[in-house]
A and B are shown apart, each in its own frame.
Chain A
Amino acid sequence: MSNRQLDSLSHSEMLEKIRSEISSGVGKKIAHESAERHVNGEAIYIDDRLEFPNQLHLYPVLSEVAHGLIKNIELQQCSALAGVERVFVAADIPGDADIGPVLPGDPLLADEKVQYVGQVIAVVAASSMEIARRGASLVKVEIEELPAILDVVQAHALQHYVMDPHRHSIGNAEAALAKAPNKLSGELHIGGQEHFYLETQICSTVPTEEGGMLVFASTQHPSEVQKLVAQVIDVPLNKVMVDMRRMGGGFGGKETQAAQPACLAALVSKLTGKPCKMRLSRELDMRMTGKRHPFVVQFEVGFTDQGLLAGLKLDLLADCGYSPDLSGSIVDRAMFHSDNAYYLGNADITGYRCKTHRASNTAYRGFGGPQGMVAIENIMDQIAGSLQLDPLSVRKLNYYGIDERNITHYGQTVTGNLLAEMTAELEQSCEYSARRQQIALFNRQQPVMKKGLALTPVKFGISFTATFLNQAGALVHIYTDGSIHLNHGGTEMGQGLNTKVAQIVAEEFQVDIDNIYMSATNTDKVPNTSPTAASSGADLNGKAAQNAARIIKARLLEFAAKEYQLPVEQITFVNNHVKLADRVISFTQLVQQAYFAQVSLSSTGFYRTPKIFYDRDAASGTPFYYYSFGMACSEVIIDTLTGEYKVLRTDILHDVGDSLNPRIDIGQVEGGFIQGMGWMTTEELVWSDTGKLLTSNPMSYKIPAITDIPNDFRVKLLENRKNPEDTVFHSKAVGEPPFMLAISVWCALKDALSSIADYKHQPVLNSPATPEAVLWAVQKMRKQSADDHCEH
C-alpha cells in the first residue's frame, strides 16, 4: 500500500495502523523482488533490450592451438563478406591491451602468442550474429605451435607458476609427523567446474558524447568493467558508465570473466561509433571463459591411535590456467579452508599456482574454499578408514575447541564456534546412528546395491581476504511523495541481494518494501564498488544502505524534533507512519514537511568491515570477520555393477545468524548444496590431448537436473543464533558456505564403497565421482576385499 493512499487516513485510522508493524522488514519471509517478472517474462536481461537499427553484433575468432606464436592473421575473406563491418585484432586497441584484473596477463585480443584453445585472436563485427559468425569462420590464423603444458603435476614439477607459492605454517609439522604413531600419505584429484549460469556472458555498448561509453554488462563487478573499458578505449573512468540490472546467474563466473565481452564491445563501439552487442553462445562461453580451479592435493598426515591429527603436510596444486586472474586469492582461500572445522596443530599448508595452457581459471562459489575443504575431509575419511572408526567420530574428535585448540593455521582465533552444538542437533534429528545400523544391515543383505552415509561440517570464513575490498557504498533518495529510490554497489544475480537490501532500508524507515524502488546497479550512482562476491553482498551493501538510510532518518528526526518541539526519543517510525508523542502523521507527510523546510532527502552511505587484517608476508592475521557454519548428512546408494548412484536423503542444518529473509536463505542453501553436489558427482570437464575442451555444451557437461536431488531433502536454518559480530541485523552471509555441504554426498559415496570391503579400507575416490570413477573404486575395493580373504 502506498503512502499516497495512507495520506487520506483519519488520525484514528493512523493510530490503528501503528499498532501493527510493516510486513516486509528485516527477517520477514518475502519473495524475491523480481519473482513476478521472472515468471511472466517481463524481467529484462541484456539480450532482451530493444536493439538499435545500426547495432553491430560481435563474434570472436578463437585459437585452435593451446600454445603457439601467431604468424599471420588473414582477414581479407572475412572483411569482404556482405554484412561484415570490420574485423578487429590486437593492433586496433587504442589503449591498454591487457585486461588482467589484479595482475597483467590477460590480453583482450591475443597478440603475438596464444596460450589456450579458445583464446580470442580477433573479433568480427557484423550486422547480425549469424553473419559475424560466418565471417569469423573465414578468418585464417597461422600459428606456430609451441609445447603446451596441460597437466598440473607437470607444471608443478617444472615450477611453471603464474604466481609464487605461499605457505601457512603452525607448530612444527616436520617434527610432529616424525613422531606420530600413525601416518598416511596420498594424492587426490579434484576436478574443476563450469559455472553454467543460464544466461551466457553478454554486453551491449552505446557510444556517448565526448568519447564516452554506456555499457550494459552482465557482471558481478561493474566498477572493474568500467575501469577496464576506460583503459581499453583510453578515456578516464568518468566517461564510462556501467549499468547492470540483473544477471541470469553469476556464481563467480561474471566477476572477472564478464570484462572481455564488455571490453570488446566497447572497443568496437569506440572504433565504429555504433552500438554493439556481444553475446556468447553457450559453446563459446564454455570454451573461452575460465572455470573453477582443478586441484591436485598431496598430503602426509600423522595421527594418534584415537584418530586425532598430530601433524600435517599438505600441498595444494592449483591448475590456474594461463594467467593469474584471481588465482592469488583463490589459492589463498583454499589454504585458509584446508582446516575446515578441524584444529590442525602442527601443519604446513602450501599453495602452488600452476600455470597450464588452458583458459584462466577463476572465481567460482567458494573461491578455492571447497577444494581446501575436500582435501581435509578426505584426510578425515582416510584416518577413520585406517583405524576402522566411524568417520563422524574422527571428525568430532578433531573439531576446533571453544576455549582451547582454537587457533587456525593462519593465526586467527575461531570464535562463535557452533560445530559441536550443530553436529549434535543434526546427528539427532537425522537419526544418524539408527540409520548407520540399517545401512549396515542392507549392505550385508544386498550384493549389488550398497548404501553409504556421511555427516560433514562446514566452517567458512567471511570477508574478502584482500582486506581493502571489504567496503561498500549506497545511495538513498526520498522523493516528495514519500517514495524511496535505492541504489547500492552490489549486483543482483538471483541471490536476492536487492530484496534483502530493500528490506533493510524498509526496516530503517519502517515503510513497506513496495515503497522502495531499486534501479540497476550503476557506476554513476555508487562509485568504486567491490565485486559482489565472497558471499559479502548483503553484509557490505546492506550496511552501506542502512548507513545512508540512517543519515536521512537522523535529519528527519532532527527536523521533526524541532518542528514539533519534541525530544527525539519521543519520535518513532512505525508502519509507514511517524509517531510524534501522541500524534501520528504519515511518513509522506513528514517527508513533505522536511522538503519545505529545506532538509536534504538524499544521502550516500558507506561501510567498511572492522577488525580484519592479514599480513601475507607473515601468513598470519585475522582475515575473516566471522565464520559461518553448516552441517549436512547425506545417504546414497550405489550400483556396484555400473557405478551409478542416487542420493536418497540429505539433512541440512545451516547457520545464517539472524536471517534477513528465511525464504531467500533457504533458497541459497538448497541451491548451493545441489550445485556442490554437481561439482562432486556428474560435472566432468574433459579436455583433448591438445588442450581442447571436449565437454563444451550441456549435451556433454551434465549439471544436476530435477531427478538428481535427494529423494528426501530436509533443510533447516539454525534458529535463535544471532551473529555475535555487529553485522547487519546480526545476519550471516549465505552465498557460498552451503555449496560445501555437498561434500557429504561424496563422503557418503566413499562410505558405500568402503562397505564392499567390510569398512576395513577407505577408497580413493577422485572428484567428480562420476559413475565411471565409482565403478573403478568398486573394482579396487573388491580386490582389497579379496586380498583380505586370502590373507586370512
Chain B
Amino acid sequence: MIEFLLHNDRVQLQDINPNTTVLQYLREHRQLTGTKEGCASGDCGACTVVIAQLDEQNQLCYQSINACITLISALDGKQLISVEDLQQQQQLHSAQQAMVDCDGSQCGFCTPGFVMSLFALQKNCSSYDKHKVQQALAGNLCRCTGYRAIDRAAAQALNDKVVDHFDPLVSSTSKELREIKSSAADGSHAALNYQQQLSHIPKDVASLAQLLIDYPQATLIAGGTDLAVEITQRAAQFSHLISVQQVSQLQEYRITDRHIEIGAALSLHQCQQLLAPYFSDFSELLERFASLQIRNQGTLGGNIANASPIGDAPPALIALDATLVLRLGADSREVAVADFFLDYRKTALQPSEFIEKILIPLPVQALDSQWALKIYKVTKRFDDDISAICAANFVRLNNRGEVVAIRLAYGGMAAVAKRASNTEASLLGQIWSHANIEKAVTCLSKDFQPLSDFRASSDYRLLVAENLLRKLYIETQHMSAGSSQPAPSQSIQTRISDYV
C-alpha cells in the first residue's frame, strides 16, 4: 500500500497499476482536470504539481515536479498539491492573482503549470531574484505570452507574498506525514499490486539489496524521469518496479577532508546545492542539466546508471576522477566513473547490483600547483536542453606552468562519456601554452569521431570540442607561471552564461 495526502485528504492505494503516472491519476482517476498534459515527457511543464514532504530536518518542503512522468508510487508519504487546491473559497492564491494582474495567461493551457511552479518558488524564495525565477520557470513552456508578463507575475508573487492557507497547516500536515511514515510497512511486501504488476518500496539499503537479489528481473527506479518516458512515449509497461525513493541512506551526503560522498538517490537539485561551494562550474552545469521539476525528481545515481551518451553528470564526474560505490547484496566495490561505462547504454553493473554512493575527491590544494575545473555545456536552447556536447576539463599546473594532471572528459562525442586520451597525452608534462593547445587540438579527431544527429553535425561537434579546448586555455592561461595575463574576469569575456 502507498499512502499520501491529496491536498489535505489521506489517500491509500494498493490496487492500482504501478505504471500509472500522477497526471493520469489526477485527471482520469480523480477527475481533477486542472493539471494539463502538454507533452507527457517532462519537457513542457503544463502538468506541474507540487509535492510537499519532510526533509532531513523534518521540515516541510515544497517542490515542483512533472506529474506526467512521475509514477504514482513516488507519492508515498508525501502531500500532492495540484492547482485546484490553491484557491480558497472564491479567493485566488497570491501566485494565481499575480498571474491575473500581470496578464501571465493567454490561452491558459500552460497556466496551471506556471502557477504551481510559482507557488513552489514562493515557498522557497523570500524575494524576487531573476536567476531563481529563471531556474523555477525554465521548465514551463508558454507559447503565447513571451514570458515577460510571467516574469512580472513572479516578481509580484514573490514581493507581495502573503500568508496563505498552507502556512497555518504546516505543523498538522507535517504531523500527518510523520504518521503516514511511521505506520508504513517495512517495504518487504509489494506496495502496489495490480494484475501481477508490482511495485516495491524498500526503506533501507539492506532490504533494497535483498529485493534486487530476490527479483533480478525487476526494474530499479530512482527519480524515474527517464524510465517513465518509456511508459508514456514508448508504451512500455514495467511488470515489477523497485523504487529507491524511501531508502534514506541513499539520500545522505557527507563531506570529509578528502571526498564529497553523495548517496546515489540524492536529487540533482540537492546535488547542485551541495556542490556549489566546491565546484561552481559543476553547479552551473547542474542548473542547466534539466528543468527544476526534473532536478527535484531525478537523481545523480540515476543519471549515471542510465548511461546515456549525452548525460551531463558523467563527463563532470570523470573530470573530477570520481568513484562509484556499487553494492550487490552485502558486498560493495568501487569502480571509477571513467571505467563504469562499457558501451552505448552498457555499464559495469552486474545483475542485482546498484549504485550506492558517488565519491567525488576534493582536489588537493597545494602550494606548488594550481588546478581548474572548467565545464562547458553547448546546446541549442540555453535551459532545459540536452547537450550537443558537454566538455568537462580538469587541469593542474605546477609552478613552472607544466601540466601535471589533466582530464578532458566529453559527453555527446561518442557512445559513452569518455576522456580524450590522445589529447590529454599531448598536453601532459607540457607547458600550458597557446602553441601546445593548438597542437593538442589536432589530437581531438583521433579521440573522437562523433555522430551527426538532429542536435548537431559531426563536424560541428568536433569543431566545438576543439574550440572548447581553446576556451579552456583562454580561461586558465593566467595560471601559467610567469604569465602576465590577468585573470579572465578582468579581460576576456568567454561565456554566454554571464549574459543570461
Chain A residues engaging chain B, CB cutoff 8 angstroms:
31-32, 34-45, 47-48, 50, 130, 133-134, 137, 195-200, 246-251, 281-283, 446-449, 493-496, 637, 639, 641-646, 648, 663-664, 666-667, 670-675, 682, 684, 686, 694-695, 697-700, 702-709, 711, 713, 715, 770-772, 775-776, 779
Q: Are B109 and A45 in contact (CB under 8 A)?
A: yes
Report B-chain residues with C-beta under 8 Å of the C-beta of A247.
107
Q: Are A39 and B115 in contact (CB under 8 A)?
A: yes
B143 within 8 A of A: yes
The 8 A-B residue pairs with the shortest CB-CB distance in the complex, in nearest-first order:
A41-B34, A494-B107, A248-B109, A38-B108, A674-B146, A494-B106, A698-B43, A48-B33
B424 within 8 A of A: no
CB distance from B164 to the nearest CB of A (A): 14
Q: Are A40 and B499 in contact (CB under 8 A)?
A: no
Complex-state Cα separation, A246 to B384, whole angstroms: 29
Please pick, from A641, A694, A715, A770, the residue contacting B470 in the complex, using a CB distance under 8 A: A641
Report B-chain residues with C-beta under 8 Å of the C-beta of A771.
378-380, 388
**A50-B31, A248-B109, A706-B147 known; A682 and B92 CB under 8 Å?**
no
**A35-B105, A198-B110, A772-B457 known; A642 and B36 CB under 8 Å?**
no
Q: Are A35 and B112 in contact (CB under 8 A)?
A: no
Report A-chain residues with C-beta under 8 Å of the C-beta of B134.
706-707
Report A-chain residues with C-beta under 8 Å of the C-beta of B305.
none
Report B-chain residues with C-beta under 8 Å of the C-beta of A639.
494-496
Complex-state Cα separation, A641 to B468, whole angstroms: 7
B40 within 8 A of A: yes
Using CB atoms, name the residue of chain A closest to B46.
Answer: A198
Report B-chain residues with C-beta under 8 Å of the C-beta of A671.
106, 143-146
| Contacts A/B (CB < 8 Å), 9 sampled | A34-B105, A35-B105, A41-B33, A198-B110, A251-B143, A282-B44, A646-B499, A704-B381, A705-B147
CB distance from A200 to the nearest CB of B (A): 8
Report A-chain residues with C-beta under 8 Å of the C-beta of B148.
670, 709, 713, 715
Q: Are A35 and B38 in contact (CB under 8 A)?
A: no
Report A-chain residues with C-beta under 8 Å of the C-beta of B296.
none
Report B-chain residues with C-beta under 8 Å of the C-beta of A196.
141, 143
B35 within 8 A of A: yes
Complex-state Cα separation, A40 to B115, whole angstroms: 8
**A34-B108, A494-B107, A667-B149 known; A39 and B499 CB under 8 Å?**
no
Pick out which of these stretches binds chain A: B96-104, B327-335, B358-366, B430-438: B96-104
A contacts with B: majority SS? loop
Report A-chain residues with C-beta under 8 Å of the C-beta of B380.
682, 684, 702, 770-771
- Enumerate B126-165 residues with CB–CB distance to A below 8 Å: 133-134, 137-151
- Enumerate B476-496 residues with CB–CB distance to A below 8 Å: 492-496
Complex-state Cα separation, A704 to B151, whole angstroms: 14
**A496-B106, A694-B453, A775-B464 known; A708 and B381 CB under 8 Å?**
yes
Chain B residues engaging chain A, CB cutoff 8 angstroms:
27, 31-41, 43-44, 46, 82-84, 86-87, 92, 96-97, 99-101, 103-112, 115, 133-134, 137-151, 233, 235, 376, 378-386, 388, 453-457, 460, 463-464, 467-468, 470-471, 474, 492-496, 499-500
Q: Are B100 and A36 in contact (CB under 8 A)?
A: yes
Q: Are B455 and A700 in contact (CB under 8 A)?
A: yes
**Taking each of B31, B139, B499, which has the highest tally of chain A beta carbons within 10 Å of its own beta carbon?**
B499
Q: Are B35 and A41 in contact (CB under 8 A)?
A: yes
Report A-chain residues with C-beta under 8 Å of the C-beta of B34.
40-42
**A40-B92, A198-B141, A694-B454 known; A699 and B83 CB under 8 Å?**
no
Please pick, from A664, A675, A697, A713, the residue contacting B41 in the complex, using a CB distance under 8 A: A697
Please pick, from A283, A448, A664, the residue contacting B493 in the complex, using a CB distance under 8 A: A448
Report B-chain residues with C-beta under 8 Å of the C-beta of A39.
83, 92, 96-97, 99-100, 104-105, 111-112, 115
Using CB atoms, name the residue of chain A closest to B105.
Answer: A38
Report A-chain residues with C-beta under 8 Å of the C-beta of B145.
667, 670-671, 674
CB distance from B259 to the nearest CB of A (A): 33
Complex-state Cα separation, A130 to B109, whole angstroms: 23
Q: Are B103 and A32 in contact (CB under 8 A)?
A: yes
Report A-chain residues with C-beta under 8 Å of the C-beta of B499.
637, 646, 648, 711
CB distance from B6 to the nearest CB of A (A): 15
Report A-chain residues with C-beta under 8 Å of the C-beta of B460.
643, 772, 775-776
Using CB atoms, name the residue of chain A closest to B139.
Answer: A705
Q: Are A199 and B146 in contact (CB under 8 A)?
A: no
Report A-chain residues with C-beta under 8 Å of the C-beta of B464.
641-643, 775
Q: Are A698 and B39 in contact (CB under 8 A)?
A: yes
**A671-B145, A700-B454 known; A706 and B99 CB under 8 Å?**
no
Report A-chain residues with C-beta under 8 Å of the C-beta of B150.
706
Using CB atoms, name the residue of chain A closest to B495.
Answer: A639
**A35-B99, A36-B100, A697-B233 known; A705 and B41 CB under 8 Å?**
no
Complex-state Cα separation, A130 to B235, whole angstroms: 8
Complex-state Cα separation, A125 to B96, whole angstroms: 39
Report B-chain residues with C-beta under 8 Å of the C-beta of A281.
40
Q: Are A36 and B456 in contact (CB under 8 A)?
A: no
CB distance from B84 to the nearest CB of A (A): 5
Please pick, from B143, B454, B495, the residue contacting A703 in the complex, using a CB distance under 8 A: B143
Report B-chain residues with C-beta under 8 Å of the C-beta of A38.
99, 105, 108, 111-112
Complex-state Cα separation, A157 to B109, whole angstroms: 43
CB distance from B238 to the nearest CB of A (A): 14
Q: Are B454 and A47 in contact (CB under 8 A)?
A: no
Using CB atoms, name the residue of chain B closest to A676.
Answer: B146
Using CB atoms, name the residue of chain A closest to B95.
Answer: A39
CB distance from B50 to the nearest CB of A (A): 13
CB distance from A786 to the nearest CB of B (A): 16
Report B-chain residues with C-beta under 8 Å of the C-beta of A48.
33
CB distance from B146 to the nearest CB of A (A): 3
Report A-chain residues with C-beta under 8 Å of the C-beta of B43.
697-699
Given contacts A41-B32, A246-B107, A248-B36, 6 further A-B contacts (CB under 8 A): A38-B112, A39-B99, A42-B34, A448-B474, A667-B149, A709-B151
Q: Are A705 and B378 in contact (CB under 8 A)?
A: no
**Taking each of B138, B141, B144, B151, which has the highest tally of chain A beta carbons within 10 Å of its own beta carbon?**
B144
Using CB atoms, name the residue of chain A closest to B376.
Answer: A642
Using CB atoms, name the residue of chain B closest to A699.
Answer: B43
Report A-chain residues with C-beta under 8 Å of the C-beta of B141.
196, 198, 698, 703, 705
Q: Are A249 and B107 in contact (CB under 8 A)?
A: yes
**A41-B34, A667-B145, A699-B386 known; A707 and B138 CB under 8 Å?**
yes
Q: Are B149 and A283 in contact (CB under 8 A)?
A: no
Using CB atoms, name the residue of chain B closest to A281.
Answer: B40
Please pick, from B109, B112, B385, the residue contacting A199 in the complex, using a CB distance under 8 A: B109
CB distance from A533 to the nearest CB of B (A): 16
CB distance from B96 to the nearest CB of A (A): 4
Complex-state Cα separation, A196 to B233, whole angstroms: 17
Complex-state Cα separation, A133 to B457, whole angstroms: 34
**A50-B31, A198-B107, A644-B496 known; A706 and B143 CB under 8 Å?**
no
Q: Are A40 and B96 in contact (CB under 8 A)?
A: yes
Q: Are A448 and B83 in contact (CB under 8 A)?
A: no
**A35-B99, A35-B103, A38-B111 known; A449 and B494 CB under 8 Å?**
yes
CB distance from A626 to the nearest CB of B (A): 25
Report B-chain residues with C-beta under 8 Å of the C-beta of A704.
146-147, 381
Report B-chain residues with C-beta under 8 Å of the C-beta of A40.
34, 83-84, 86-87, 92, 96
Report B-chain residues with C-beta under 8 Å of the C-beta of A648.
499
CB distance from A387 to the nearest CB of B (A): 31
Using CB atoms, name the residue of chain A closest to B34.
Answer: A41
Complex-state Cα separation, A646 to B382, whole angstroms: 9
**A39-B105, A198-B46 known; A707 and B382 CB under 8 Å?**
yes
**A196-B143, A694-B454 known; A707 and B383 CB under 8 Å?**
yes
**A41-B83, A707-B383 known; A637 and B149 CB under 8 Å?**
no
**A446-B492, A699-B41 known; A198 and B36 CB under 8 Å?**
yes
**Taking each of B108, B137, B146, B457, which has the highest tally of chain A beta carbons within 10 Å of its own beta carbon?**
B146
Using CB atoms, name the residue of chain A closest to B385.
Answer: A702
Report B-chain residues with C-beta under 8 Å of the C-beta of A41.
32-35, 82-84, 112
